[in-house]
Amino acid sequence: MSRTRIVKGKLTKVTHQDHFIYSRGSIINNGATKVIQTGKDNGVLYGKPHFPDLVYEPTEYKLKSVLAHEQLKNTAKELSEMTFILLMLQIYGEEIEVEAIGKLYKDLCDDKLEPPEIIVTKSPIKNYKANYTNKRKKILVSKGFLEEAIKDNEVKAQLMVALLEEYGHHIDNLLRTDYATNGKEDKDIIDEGAKFAYYFLTVDFANTPKLDFAEAETPEYTGPLVLDLGKESQDLSKYANQEQWYDDDPNEDDVENFGFGFAHGTHGGIEMEALAKTNIFTESEVLQIYYGNWLRDVSQVLVPFTIRFTKAVRDKVENHNKQTKGKTQHIKAGNTAKFSHEGWVELIELFAAKEFIYTKGGTGIKTENYVKHLERFRKTYGQLTKDTLGIYRPEEHIDNPRGLEREHQSVYDETRIKREIPGGTEDISFYIGESEECFRVNSFGQKYYIYRDDENAQKKMGEKVMIKADPLRPSSDSYMSNQLRLAVTKGKNKDGFRHFGAAMHVLEDYFSHTNFVELSLCKLGWKKDSPYKYLKKVYPWVQNRQGTDYSTIPVVTGKFLLDDTCASVVPKMADMLLPIGFSKYEVGNPGERTFGQQTIYTVLKDLAKGQKEDPTQKSLQYLGMDSVELFDYYQKLLKLSDWMTEQKKRDDPFGWVMRGFGFISHYMGEILMNFTNVVFNIMIESVDDDIKAAQTHVTNVNYGEDPTHTQVGKDAHENPLNGLAASLATIAVKDVGQRIKDIWDGKVSDPDGSKLVFHVQNTYSRHPRAVEWMDKEVENWVIRVSKNASFLEKLYHPTPVAHAHDTAKRKIRIGMDKIEEIKKYFGK
């Protein structure tokens, strides 16, 4: 709203006390003759503007809550400093100084930090029931909110989450002020308080029937506020889920509140949109397709530095590292606190069963016992094996192999698997190292690691040296084509769906991991009589080629090296390990296990096996015990839990007594759940040396035709081209999905899938100069966003968003520069 006031005569204002004028923009005083400012006593002062204090009216009501504070303290004491820092960076973002988090960690561990005071106000502040004031460092809760919470269990749940969120704002404020050396203003749209609440609602409070979370004192009621978790346990995180992470005003100076927001999709979202909503396939069929896609995603955790090798291989690797000093890609294999290849497969199958059966599989099985879900998973999707899971291979993600170094041969020998191809299998292991042949530009204007020309095409290009197919370094297009052929020949069943999903992973990545989208925008700018000439300036991610003829710029992708992997793998492991929501520790019958319990059991069993194989190597200590002792202890706890469950079923007086001591089960649950933090800590520290040793690629300035994945990738929602890339992927997946369905249903004859492969290669896997299917969609997108000049401006620079760090987020939250800061902090 604007307001203009015109006074034709003289305007005089007299204030008998202080007079304040505030503006979030500029204040302009213009005078035709003079502008006079006089400070009679102290002169005229200049400096940083201060905004008015928040005005509120306190009441006699009292409210105290230490739940969030105690939860954070316990977390700090259970985790190592490295793990705690990584967790806080995930919640509060990379602007927070690592040293500031280190100070917070020490104060929490030493019990030096006190929780903030809670003030009950007469009215809501800015219509929000709960707030946090940055200046006063206090939490504000409205009187009406507290009165409702005293009477209603659902409102209690909202109040508990609100208190968690406002405490999260308090910690954010401390990290930016009291603990910071060079504090940074909070300028992003993420509401860190909501994110804090979400994390602490999903990292698994040990479940209790009722949770005493606060003490209240009002004229009508004095006593504890107790939340009945039996009523709200499944829904608590809805008050602080990812849709609540977005702040309505990050520049709000004094008050943080209980906010709202939105969410966005992924590979699975694209496939649901393209295949299920269009009724090409049923939702259950799309889940099976997405499973093949999902496997390619999670197989990225299987890289040389996350796998525990045998002692003989580790010795060879260490000797190899000494001889090739300075090669950043080489793994550090000097400890046994990592998972074996077999352990990874067993662990990932558990999470596949949880993801696709327990979480998304409908209401067929009402049990917490993981065995039933695992059985159904294997029946529906097939048992997971090393060969089915695979390992990280750049061609499966259209990653640029530049910089991938060759490891010692024993690394490849010990991790060799069989990958299915039409007519049989091929033996593969980790990428054998880069070859200059991969970086030639083909006849279609793409790099050879995307698509290799045959000899006829090379001759037409005038190449003097013919490059033959390299089975050790296949192109991404070759992998995708094989998966499409396998999908066709396997048919409409779990194997056909899985191979089709693997092919779609590559197809979808073609739009998010290459510069195809950028070149498509440039193409629109280069069209004759184009009204969008300014699009010629879209940055193409090939150095020194901005503004030049788009048709001569090659299609390239980003390289994904050790730094990217360090940043990507750690949070992926965390996502896998941390249970979502409140989970009951008891499953009903002795010997039955929840997913959380079996995960911990699997991890400790595998680590204990590694330590027994080579007790001379480094073994992490937790609770005063090494891996073998932890595993033995956990087994005893599970047996004790089984015994207690059995005794409570007895009909005699002893059974009655055991049923009466519910708190015993609660404390047993707490002990078992605490192992989640122990195991998470072990996994983080298992790659700790590699994280500290990694060299950053943030300064990848003179990259030529080889940008990093963090630079060219469009996975992150913050990337301005994320939406366009997803739209193009959806169009392509819908078309290919309908075609393979017609083949499976017998409407189209294509027995070996060669027709489908030809169509995909020549329609989608090409340079924008050769195809037109996407032109209208790109133009419609430009029309929609062209109203925002600042948005378009982001496309003209080599760092279109500050996502050069965010995009290391292929599921991650920690960027390259922050890893470097962590290294320096621990190197002091």
pLDDT class of 734 with cuts at 50, 70, 90 = very high
Max mean pLDDT range (138-142, 299-303, 371-375): 138-142
Residue pLDDT, tens place only, 526-571: 999 999 999 999 999 998 999 999 999 999 998 876 555 555 555 5
Q: Is residue 434 part of a domain?
A: no
Owner of token pair 């989208």: 517
Say how many C-beta atoms besides its own lie within 10 A of residue 466's C-beta.
Answer: 10
State how far the Cα of 102 lies from the Cα of 123, in Å rounded to an integer.
Answer: 38
Q: Is 289 left (phi over 0), alpha (psi -120 to 50) or beta?
A: alpha
State how far the Cα of 120 lies from the Cα of 197, in Å rounded to an integer.
Answer: 20
Q: What's the one-letter identity of residue 301?
A: V
Quote the crossing angle between the two packed helices 81-92 and 98-109, to the nearest 10°.
120
Tell me the average pLDDT across 407-412: 85
Q: Is residue 438 part of a domain?
A: no
Are residues 521 and 583 located together in one domain of the fold? no
Q: Is 163 left (phi over 0), alpha (psi -120 to 50) or beta?
A: alpha
Owner of token pair 């982001």: 794
Q: What's residue 633's pLDDT?
A: 62
Q: What's residue 181's pLDDT?
A: 87
Per the DSSP assignment, residues forming a β-bridge with 618 are: 335
State how far the Cα of 563 lies from the Cα of 820, in Å rounded to an integer.
Answer: 10
pLDDT class of 603 with cuts at 50, 70, 90 = confident
Domain boundary among 257, 280, 297: 257
pLDDT class of 326 with cuts at 50, 70, 90 = very low
Is a pLDDT exceeding 70 seen at residue 248? Answer: no
Tokens at residue 504, please? 């779609």
3-state secondary structure of 814: coil
Give 152's contacts (C-beta < 8 A, 6+ positions apart).
none
Q: What's residue 155's pLDDT?
A: 85
Q: How far is CA 62 from CA 141, 230, 281, 328, 541, in A?
A: 10, 27, 57, 57, 58
Q: Is residue 325 part of a domain?
A: yes
pLDDT class of 791 with cuts at 50, 70, 90 = confident
Q: How many domains does the chain have?
A: 3
- Residues spanned by the domain of 763: 269-425+474-566+696-826
Is a pLDDT exceeding 50 seen at residue 810? Answer: no
Residue pLDDT, tens place only, 2-56: 455 566 667 677 776 666 665 655 676 777 677 777 777 777 776 665 655 667 7
Q: What's residue 266's pLDDT?
A: 74
Contact status, residue 190 vs residue 165, Cβ threshold 8 Å: no
Q: Is residue 14 part of a domain?
A: no
Q: What's residue 358's pLDDT?
A: 79
Candidates 185, 517, 577, 528; CA nearest to 344 is: 577
Tokens at residue 767, please? 């340079």
- The 3-state secondary structure of 523-590 reads HHHHCCCCCCHHHHHCCCCCCCCCCCCHHHCCECECECCHHHHHHHHHHHHHHHHCCCCCCCCCCCCC
Is a pLDDT exceeding 60 seen at residue 315? Answer: yes
Q: Is residue 342 part of a domain?
A: yes
Q: What's residue 572's pLDDT?
A: 52
Q: Is 614 exposed, middle or buried (0-12, 13-18, 19+ CB in 10 A)?
A: middle
Q: What's residue 222's pLDDT?
A: 95
Candidates 503, 70, 436; CA nearest to 271 is: 503
Quote the crossing angle between the two packed helices 516-526 and 494-512, to the nearest 10°.
50
| Start-to-end C-alpha separation, the chain | 53
Candidates 219, 222, 231; CA nearest to 153 is: 231
**What is the pLDDT of the chain when averaged over all its residues?**
76
Quote the crossing angle between the two packed helices 816-826 and 98-109, to the nearest 10°.
50
Output helix, strand, coil percentages for the chain, rounded to the nearest 5: 50, 10, 40
Query: Which DSSP letter does residue 274 get?
Result: I
Are residues 331 and 390 located together in one domain of the fold? yes
Is a pLDDT exceeding 90 seen at residue 748? Answer: yes
Q: What's residue 585's pLDDT?
A: 41
Residue pLDDT, tens place only, 135-170: 888 999 999 999 999 998 888 888 888 898 889 889
Phi, psi angles (nearest 5°) of residue 659:
-65, -30
Candidates 441, 502, 438, 443; CA nearest to 473 is: 438
Contact status, residue 509 vs residue 503, Cβ threshold 8 Å: no
Contact status, residue 593 vs residue 635, Cβ threshold 8 Å: no
Are residues 82 and 126 located together in one domain of the fold? yes
Say how many C-beta atoms besides its own lie within 10 A of residue 412's C-beta.
Answer: 18
State how far the Cα of 405 lies from the Cα of 298, in Å rounded to an integer.
Answer: 22
Q: What's residue 8's pLDDT?
A: 61
Higher-scoring residue by pLDDT: 256, 341: 341
Max mean pLDDT range (24-33, 319-328, 407-416, 635-644): 407-416
3-state secondary structure of 392: coil
Are residues 490 and 403 located together in one domain of the fold? yes
| Of 285-289, 398-402, 764-768, the least confident | 398-402
Tokens at residue 426, please? 């091929």
Share of the chain above pLDDT 90, in %: 32
Is a pLDDT exceeding 70 seen at residue 634? Answer: no
State how far the Cα of 375 lies from the Cα of 353, in Å rounded to an integer.
Answer: 9
Domain boundary among 213, 236, 257: 257
Are residues 167 and 224 located together in one domain of the fold? yes
Are residues 385 and 249 located together in one domain of the fold? no
Residue pLDDT, tens place only, 565-580: 555 555 555 555 444 3
Q: What's the one-letter identity of residue 17?
A: Q
Give 313's contacts (C-beta < 8 A, 6+ positions apart).
333, 408, 410, 411, 414
State how far the Cα of 727 lies from the Cα of 512, in Å rounded to an integer.
Answer: 11
State how far the Cα of 218 lies from the Cα of 63, in Å rounded to an integer.
Answer: 9
| Of 206-210, 353-357, 364-368, 408-412, the least confident | 206-210
Are residues 707 and 771 located together in one domain of the fold? yes
pLDDT class of 470 with cuts at 50, 70, 90 = confident
Q: Is residue 161 part of a domain?
A: yes
3-state secondary structure of 118: strand
Is a pLDDT exceeding 80 seen at residue 294? Answer: yes
Are residues 344 and 298 located together in one domain of the fold? yes
Tell me the average pLDDT across 245-265: 35
Domain boundary among 189, 223, 257: 257
State how far the Cα of 102 lies from the Cα of 828, in Å rounded to an integer.
Answer: 12
Q: What's residue 485's pLDDT?
A: 97
| Of 171-185, 424-438, 481-495, 750-764, the least confident | 171-185
Q: What's residue 237's pLDDT?
A: 44
Say how many C-beta atoms besides its own lie within 10 A of residue 84's C-beta.
Answer: 23
Are residues 765 and 816 located together in one domain of the fold? yes
Share of the chain above pLDDT 70, in %: 66
Tell me the average pLDDT across 794-810: 45
Contact status, residue 422 vs residue 483, Cβ threshold 8 Å: no
Q: In what order do the strands lie in the sheet with 210-217?
A: 222-228, 210-217, 58-64, 118-121, 138-142, 130-133, 255-257
Q: Is residue 42 part of a domain?
A: no
Q: What's residue 318's pLDDT?
A: 74
Q: What's residue 704's pLDDT?
A: 86
Q: Is residue 458 part of a domain?
A: no
Are residues 597 and 734 located together in one domain of the fold? no
| Of 1-15, 273-287, 603-617, the least confident | 1-15
Contact status, residue 134 vs residue 255, Cβ threshold 8 Å: yes
Q: Is 139 exposed, middle or buried (0-12, 13-18, 19+ CB in 10 A)?
A: buried
Length of the chain: 828
| Of 255-259, 273-277, 691-695, the least confident | 255-259
Are residues 253 and 276 located together in one domain of the fold? no
Tell me the average pLDDT across 727-740: 96
3-state secondary structure of 148: helix
Q: What's residue 261's pLDDT?
A: 24
State how far the Cα of 686 lies from the Cα of 63, in Å rounded to an integer.
Answer: 43
pTM of the predicted protein model? 0.65
Are residues 512 and 627 located together in one domain of the fold? no
3-state secondary structure of 780: helix
Query: Which DSSP letter does residue 719 get?
Result: S
pLDDT class of 739 with cuts at 50, 70, 90 = very high
